């Protein structure tokens, strides 16, 4: 069991390295496969030893081997967090189909989180295909059967996902219609995706948690005068975190809440 966790932690480090490529290139509409990894400053191709997660960054002291340009600190952070999440998910799900799906969801959420944080963008080319995948995955995802039960498991799971999507859509569309300012339509689409992923009733956990987190952080930033009321709120950033927490502990949180 513990070997499994170590293996998935390592896998996560390397996947994290690829997620960095996606985060860099997707908002710029570049291919994530071609060309291979290179330094953005000097264009030198990076080899395996330049790209070894975290270790390379530490070994090269955060600078490009060829031109000494600083490598963004985000690179090792994303690698480390991906490794950590992969380890936690493999511990939670064991070797199973759910593990595969949750690893995909975690990777997706990390990309959405960082792209929104850095570019204030939620990309359609990420959300739309992911919605379709989430619907397909819902057949293999533990829906609400442990919480609420419909007669057939397959319909149960699909309905759970669809209902979650509808609730996510409404929950994010309402503040968008009321406030407009500070929220984009991308956040509404992301709310829908999150609902399709987490399903009913866990979508409530994801959405409520993101609102609470967003509220606390916004209040802190206003109090510290770092931000003003006019600044946009990175809703997708909070929603990505709360969805990850929901994937890991959603059922426990829901049952605790009901109790």
Rule CB under 5 A: which residues touch Zn ion?
A: 39, 41-42, 64, 66-67, 69
Identity of the residue, 70 or 125, whose beta carbon is nearer to Zn ion in the bound complex:
70
CB of 14 to Zn ion, least distance (A): 21
Between 67 and 154, CB nearer to Zn ion? 67
How far apart are alpha carbons 37 and 23 in whole angstroms?
13
Q: Are 207 and 194 in contact (CB under 8 A)?
A: yes
Q: Residue 26 or 64: which CB sits closer to Zn ion?
A: 64
**Closest distance to Zn ion from the beta carbon of 51 (Å):** 13
**Phi, psi torsion values for 7, nearest 5 degrees:** -60, -45
Per-residue HEC secondary structure of 199-259 comes to CCCHHHHHHHHHHHHHHHHHHHHHHCCCCCCCCCCCHHHHHHHHHHHHHHHHHHHHHHHHC
Residue with Cβ nearer Zn ion (41 or 255): 41
- Minimum distance of Zn ion from residue 63's CB (angstroms): 8
CB-nearer residue toward Zn ion: 42 or 155: 42
Residue 60 phi/psi, 5° resolution?
Answer: -90, 5
Phi/psi at 70 (nearest 5 deg)? -70, 135
Torsion sign (Cα): 205, 133, 112, 57? positive
Given the complex with Zn ion, which of 76 and 83 has the nearer CB atom? Answer: 76
Whole-number minimum distance, CB 60 to Zn ion, in Å? 10
Report the nearest approach of Zn ion to the CB of residue 39 (Å).
Answer: 3
In this complex, which beta carbon is closest to Zn ion, that of residue 32 or of residue 42?
Answer: 42
Contact between 188 and 176 under an 8 Å Cβ cutoff? The reply is yes
As measured in angstroms, the least distance from the Cβ of 83 to Zn ion is 25
Spatial CB neighbours of 66, under 8 Å, sequence gap ≥ 6: 39, 42, 44
Please, are residues 194 and 126 in contact by the beta-carbon 8 Å criterion? no
Minimal distance, residue 73 CB to Zn ion, in Å: 16
Here the tokens at position 22 are 């996606």
């Amino acid at each position: 069991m513990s070997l499994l966790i170590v293996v998935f932690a390592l896998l996560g480090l390397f996947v994290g390295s690829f997620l960095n490529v996606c985060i860099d290139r997707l908002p710029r509409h570049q291919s994530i496969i071609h060309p291979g990894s290179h330094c953005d400053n000097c264009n030198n191709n990076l080899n395996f030893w330049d790209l070894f997660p975290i270790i390379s960054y530490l070994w090269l002291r955060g600078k490009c081997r060829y031109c000494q340009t600083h490598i963004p600190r985000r690179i090792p952070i994303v690698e480390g967090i991906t490794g950590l999440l992969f380890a936690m998910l493999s511990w939670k799900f064991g070797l199973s189909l759910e593990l595969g799906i949750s690893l995909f969801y975690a990777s997706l959420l990390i990309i959405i989180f960082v792209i929104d944080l850095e570019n204030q963008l939620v990309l359609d080319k990420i959300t739309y295909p992911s919605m379709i995948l989430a619907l397909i995955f819902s057949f293999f995802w533990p829906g609400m059967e442990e919480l609420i039960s419909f007669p057939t498991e397959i319909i149960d799971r699909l309905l759970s996902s669809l209902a979650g999507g509808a609730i996510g859509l409404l929950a994010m569309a309402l503040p968008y219609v009321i406030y407009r300012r500070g929220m984009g339509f991308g956040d509404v689409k992301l709310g829908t995706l999150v609902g399709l992923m987490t399903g009913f009733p866990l979508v409530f956990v994801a959405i409520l948690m993101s609102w609470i987190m967003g509220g606390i952080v916004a209040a802190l930033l206003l109090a510290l005068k770092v931000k003003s009321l006019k600044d946009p709120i990175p809703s997708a950033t909070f929603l990505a975190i709360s969805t990850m927490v929901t994937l890991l502990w959603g059922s426990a949180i829901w049952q605790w809440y009901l109790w």
